[in-house]
Chain A
């Protein structure tokens, strides 16, 4: 089954404690991205990657890091989380040039206290 998986689905942590949210897709997609969703603001792109070892900033990259060492994985790293990073995070993937068949993960709800 074609899917994007994210782990963990729920996470409560404290300010400053480094964390990683994993994202993996099984469709051999070139393009992967991370979004955060906040009430009244819709989804905003954090980072995206057009292929292995190629990453670029989205609209709200501050406080986040990503890496793309393998095609299937695109982890999101928060080195020093702060309460304003409390949000719902989505990972997405698609084949390059195929906009319709975008696959989103189920989301990770992060709370930073």
Chain B
């Protein structure tokens, strides 16, 4: 059974810093890896999806990498801003027909002005 772990559980940084969030998964036979953002009182917003054949994806100040062989993914946020404060979740997507998502417990990020 797939297990996804995110470290650290919480992170506080001053505005402008570059930071890395970590995600690890136990079963490397994934279809895709996806990063989400969750804001209090709101649902999840998809940030980046990395297909199993890719090594990274970029969107603006966000860059996500995937190393299937080691069971790891990282989300890099450049020049952090207070508006980046949220909980970031990664999800491993199974290769089965239902493409089920297994989520990590998230990293709660606070960017201080």
Contact = CB atoms under 8 A, between A and B. Distances in A.
B41 A106 contact: yes
Contact of B46 (A58, A101, A107): A101
B68 to A, nearest CB: 16
B4 interface: yes
Contact of B43 (A50, A58, A104): A104
Interface string B26-65: 0000001010000001111110010000000000000000
Interface residues of B, number: 25
Contacts of A107: 41-43
B89 A100 contact: no
Interface in B93-111: 93, 97-106
Nearest to A45: B100
A4 B41 CA distance: 14
Interface string A29-72: 00000010000111111001010000010110000000000000
**Residue with the highest number of chain A CB atoms closer than 10 Å, among B44, B45, B106:** B44
A99 B105 contact: no
A74 interface: no
Interface of B: 4, 6, 9, 32, 34, 41-46, 49, 89, 91, 93, 97-106
9 closest residue pairs by CB, A with B: A104-B43, A42-B103, A42-B105, A43-B103, A104-B44, A100-B49, A106-B43, A42-B104, A105-B43
A56 B98 contact: yes
B98 A50 contact: yes
Contacts of A99: 32, 34, 49, 93, 99
B18 to A, nearest CB: 25
Contacts of A106: 41-43
Contacts of A105: 43
Nearest to B1: A59
A101 B46 CA distance: 7
A59 to B, nearest CB: 8
